[in-house]
Amino acid sequence: MASTELHHTADRPSFEKPVSLLVVVAPYYKDIAEQMISGATAEIEAAGASWELVEVPGALEVPTAIAIAQRLSQFDGYVALGCVIRGETTHYETVCNDSSRALQLLGLEGACIGNGILTVENHTQAKVRAQADGQNKGGAAAAAALHLIALTRKWGKPTGKLGFLRTEEIKTV
């Protein structure tokens, strides 16, 4: 059974400069969402980072909200939270696959995202995975985002005027 297996947990990264995360949650199953948020925000605060929370209608909207924030805000990373429980139709596969794929594509474009969207067979499985004092998948998603931020900062290149400049830019350099 997965709940009795031991898993390695990487040490929490530390940061010299402030870190800010956006937690995007689809609270369709409110009790699950609350546990996920609790675990995620506790992990973020334990790392000395700050966070902001935004709710969206469902798991399919989570990647879109993150894409908007990535384009228009100054967050260092994102925590995607939600829960998709299998139903009687193929909608489950669509929501699971499309939300996961969209988050992965955003990550490959450089967004530091911890994916905490649970995909489970039933509400009992979701509760076990969501519990902040249990499997704490919300905390694990926040930890993943923090680790990606740390890597980005470690390997980041200086930003500024590199390469060729347009004529109008030469006057301001």
pLDDT tens for the chain, residues 1 to 173: 455 667 788 999 999 999 999 999 999 999 999 999 999 999 999 999 999 999 999 999 999 999 999 999 999 999 999 999 999 888 999 999 999 999 999 999 999 999 999 999 999 999 999 999 999 999 999 999 999 999 999 998 665 555 565 666 655 55
Place of tokens 């939600």: 82
Predicted pLDDT of residue 8: 85
In a domain, 70, yes or no: yes
In a domain, 2, yes or no: no
Residue partners of 58: CB distance under 8 A and separation at least 6: 26, 28, 82, 95
d(CA 69, CA 64): 9
Q: Which two tokens stand for residue 88?
A: 């009687």
In a domain, 7, yes or no: no
- Residue 61 lies inside a defined structural domain of this protein: yes
The encoded tokens of residue 65 equal 């909200």
What are the angstrom distances between the C-alpha of 65 and each of 33, 53, 60, 113?
17, 11, 10, 12
Q: Identify the CATH number of the domain in which residue 101 sits.
A: 3.40.50.960
Please list the active-site residues: 91
pLDDT the model gives residue 75? 98
Q: Read out DSSP for 91-131? A: HHHHHHHHHHHHHHHHHHTT--EEEEEEEESSHHHHHHHH-
Burial environment of residue 60 by CB neighbours within 10 A (0 to 12, 13 to 18, 19 or more): middle
Asked if the structure places residue 10 within a domain, the reply is no
Q: Tell me the CA end-to-end span of the chain in Å, nearest whole number.
A: 62
Range of the domain at 165: 18-170
Token pair of 123 as six digits? 């509400």
Query: Is the pTM higher than 0.85?
Result: yes
User: Which pLDDT score, from 0 to 100, does residue 1 have?
Assistant: 46
The answer to whether position 46 is within a domain reads yes
Write the CA distances from 70 to 22, 76, 100, integer angstroms. 10, 9, 17
Do the domain assignments include residue 87?
A: yes
Number of domains the chain is built from: 1
Domain-located, residue 48: yes
